Structure 1
Amino acid sequence: MAQRPRPQRLGHVVLNVRDLAASVRFYVDMVGLEVSDYIEDQMAFLRCGHDHHDLALAQIPADGAQREATYTPGRPGLEHFSYQLGSLEEIEAAASYLQQHGVEIVRGIGKHGPGENLFLVFKDPDGNYCEFYAEMVQVTAARPYTPRIWKNDLAAFDQWHFDKFVVPPPEWGPRPAPSDKNE
């Protein structure tokens, strides 16, 4: 049986927002965060420390403001919060542990483009999305970072193209041809 995960710290939060540009202005001008990256006009990644992001903002569809108060993807508010683990091996062990205990895994294991972090997202008893992540890009004076705009494509969501997902992956445009793992 897999061992219970041992998070190192609370990591980042992702919020669904009605107006991405207005929210970015607020968190930069009023809160003092810095922009790390964008995924076109769909997401913004902001930081106050060394992690590539400690806050990400996701644009919701125009009808999102009308959705119900309980969490459903695409409504305003919290999308997920995260806890840092130490490595891919720890995330894999956490996935096994969660599965053994009947916890619903939502997405992952994967590797995001912006931030380059590994991810595994699962539901708590109230349906909130919680994430284990590891290996996020660190931004320091010795390792400065230049923001970029990522295309809203599979590489931004999962650089591994769902190869390590432990649940069925979401529908995502044209699927790459399966690679021969024995090459």
Structure 2
Amino acid sequence: MTVTSGAPVDVAVPSPLAEPPLPPPAPQSGEAPSVRAARSPITHLRYVALATENLRSTVAFYEGIWGLYPVASDGDVVFLGAVGSPEPFVIRVRAATERRTDIIGFGARSLAAVDELAATLARDGVRLASEPGVLVTPGGGYGFRFFDPEGRLIEVSAEVADKPYRELEERESVPQRLSHVVLNSTNVAGAMAFYESYLGLRLSDWLEDRMCFLRCSENHHSLAITHAPHIGLNHVSFEMRGLDEYMRGTGRMMRHGHEPLWGPGRHSSGDNVYSYFAAPDDVVVEYTTALEQIPDEDSWVPRVWPATPDYADRWGTAGPGEDLFALWHRTPPDAGLWTPTPI
């Protein structure tokens, strides 16, 4: 086009510095989030329990380069804690004849909340794996186990004793605590409805219609559920002290030959940074920090984020993530579905 004279032509030129726009809000349910939060029995994510054919190498990874430490062991079961977390353990590893996810553990606000949740689930036909009772794992406490609608074994417990912990120092690049867990699902909407209805989790955001982010505290998400060809564990995420410690941890992994499957980068939903790595048995683990906070339940409006590179990788530094997605696609269905763990 040639412009010869007259007024300037108004042509919209996208700025290379422009941020992608915020997504539209998600549809809202009629109940105020603060009401659901007030009656929710769940306070936080406690731990993830894994089973492996390679106990020694798996424990060596988590207590070595990953930065956890052993707090207890009982024969073929090892409990690993995070220096900055009061939780008695954040990862449990059990020797088994096959790779599986044993348990996902949540904290409850009281003994009464544990009993009430167990009674409600049993009344509604949800399969319990154990009745409420005294726990014999590190920290003790009182809890029970049940299966979610897709067969995952869930534990809810209260009055678990804290272990000694401390504030991490500047530049100390080990996990501070467990951040969140993401589950693969063949029915995201159905799984989300279960965790909302029974555990009182609240929707923070959607990634299109394929992934939901659920919270049980001010943290943007402690649980996320994503669409996949089969049911299983997507990844386990660990909170670092800050951005510098997150990058130092990422660099340590790289120097020891563990290239990120995806990252370093920054997500839109949750606003957290990420570096994903392959742990033994192709379990995906993540270093993260700076997760978005939601201090006011009722003013928060869930958003629907596009599943595009600009939103998945706001910094544009993470790379295509092909190795991560290839690993997820080759991972078999979880062998632990609908099967109580022996311990």
* Fold similarity call, TM over 0.5: yes
1:121-147 per-residue CA deviation (whole Å, 9 max, x = no partner) reads 111122110101010111113994211
Task: Name the counterpart of 2:308.
Answer: 153
Quote how far apart the aligned CAs of 1:103 are: 2.2
1:51 pairs with 219, 227, 238, which one? Answer: 219
* DSSP-derived class of the 2:194 partner: helix
Summarize the alignment of residues 27-176 of structure 1 with structure 2, pairs less than 5 Å apart.
Answer: 27-60=195-228, 64-65=229-230, 76-141=231-296, 144-161=299-316, 163=317, 165=318, 168-170=319-321
Q: Is the 8 A contact 1:4 1:97 kept in 2?
A: no
Moved more, 119-128 or 97-106: 97-106
Aligned AA (1:118): V
Whole-angstrom CA distance in 2 between matches of 1:113 and 1:146: 15
**Alpha-carbon distance change, 107 to 26 in structure 1, aligned in 2, over 3 angstroms:** same
Identity level (%): 35
Higher relative contact order (CA 8 A, sep 6+): 1
1:26-84 CA distances to partner (integer Å, 9 max, x unpaired)?
11112210000001111100000111000111111xxx23xxxxxxxxxx211101110
1:102 to partner: Cα distance: 1.9
Q: Distance in 2 between matches of 1:137 and 1:143?
A: 16
* 1:93 partner letter: R
Residues 143 and 102 of structure 1, relative CA distance in 2, 3 Å threshold: farther
Q: Structure 1 CA distance, aligned partners of 2:186 and 2:179?
A: 23
Matched, 1:25 2:180: no
Distance in 2 of aligned mates of 1:170 and 1:124: 16
| Aligned-CA RMSD value | 2.1
Aligned length: 153
1:5-46 CA distance string (max 9 Å, x none): 321111100001001111111111122100000011111000
Residue 7 of structure 1 aligns to a residue whose secondary structure is: coil
> Which amino acid is 1:18 matched to?
T
Check 1:144–1:90 CA distance in 2 against 1; reply closer, same or farther (3 A cut).
farther
My pick for the range that moved more, 47-56 or 120-129, is: 120-129
| Match of residue 70 from structure 1 | none
Contact 1:113 1:158 in 2 (8 A): yes
State the AA in 2 paired with 1:102: G
Q: Per-residue deviation at 1:86?
A: 2.1
Partner-residue secondary structure (3-state), 2:257: coil
Gaps of 5+ in 2: 1-170, 323-343
**Counterpart Cα distance in 2 of 1:94 and 1:153:** 27
Q: Residue 179 of structure 1 corresponds to which residue in structure 2?
A: none
